[in-house]
Amino acid sequence: GESVGLHLPTLSVQEGDNSIINCAYSNSASDYFIWYKQESGKGPQFIIDIRSNMDKRQGQRVTVLLNKTVKHLSLQIAATQPGDSAVYFCAEPTQDNDMRFGAGTRLTVKP
Amino acid sequence: DAGVTQSPTHLIKTRGQHVTLRCSPISGHKSVSWYQQVLGQGPQFIFQYYEKEERGRGNFPDRFSARQFPNYSSELNVNALLLGDSALYLCASSLVTGELFFGEGSRLTVL
């Protein structure tokens, strides 16, 4: 079936470096994607979203890139801080009124 | 303003028992969704309710049921608990569709 998945389960970066978290999707008709951040003991929190009519969207220290040709999106975090340590999920809403999540990438920021 | 609140935060049950989880959405939000998150995985959609009616259902057995009350709060019920039901159960609210706001979840352990 259709899926949203992530390339790597874990990512470790040095504080101050940039982080890139990748996600692949299989449904070429997908037109809206969301990145969530889940800190330990908490529920997922919206970070940024992007629609398929865009290739790039920027927020505060975060950028999402969408490549529809290869069905791939990425989340870039600039100047990664210890507070960025969390599990990051890409997700897409479906026609069945649910949000389909990938498995997640655990980002660890080393001081 | 209060976010999405869930209760209880933690609970332990034994196989075959029944559990009720509760969720209060953000004030003004009329849609509530339930997700199951098994350790190491992304959230999996269980139900969505809007205006007290079920609007979506994930691939979960009939042991799982939910309802939404006139004040838009919601309950998730699970009967005949199995060991595999051990998970973090997340509730999310939204205005109608769009951005989901998650609670911190109810962690269920089935022994």
Instruction: Say what the pLDDT of residue A6 is.
Output: 55
Name which of A41, A44, A97 is nearest B43 (Cβ-Cβ): A44
Question: What are the domain boundaries of chain A?
Answer: 4-110
Whether A1 contacts chain B with CB within 8 A: no
- Cβ proximity of B17 and B77 under 8 Å: no
Instruction: Give B-chain residues touching A100 at CB under 8 angstroms.
Output: 45
Q: Can you spell out the DSSP letters for B33-80?
A: EEEEE-TTS--EEEEEEETTEEEEE-S--TTEEEEE-TTS-EEEEE-S
Contact check, Cβ <8 Å, A43/B102: yes
Which positions in chain B touch A34 (Cβ < 8 Å)? 99
For B8-48, the pLDDT digits (tens) are: 999 999 999 999 999 999 999 999 999 999 988 899 999 99
pLDDT score of A5: 61
User: Given the DSSP bridges, would you call strands A62-67 and A56-58 parallel, antiparallel or unpaired?
Assistant: antiparallel
Q: Give the pLDDT confidence score for residue A27 in this predicted structure.
A: 85
- pLDDT for residue A8: 60
Looking at residue A4, its pLDDT comes to 65
pLDDT for A57:
97
d(CA A97, CA A34): 15
Q: Any CB–CB contact under 8 A between B60 and chain A?
A: no
* A39 reaches B (C-beta below 8 A): no
What is the structure's pLDDT at A2?
Answer: 46
User: Is A100 within 8 Å of chain B by CB?
Assistant: yes
* Domain segments of chain B as ranges: 5-96
Please give the CATH number for the structural domain made up of A4-110. Answer: 2.60.40.10
CA–CA gap between residue B36 and residue A15 (Å, rounded): 32
The answer to whether domain B5-96 has CATH 1.10.287.610 is: no
Pairing of strands B19-24, B5-7: antiparallel
Q: Is the pLDDT of residue A1 over 50?
A: no
A102 to chain B, any CB pair closer than 8 A? The answer is yes
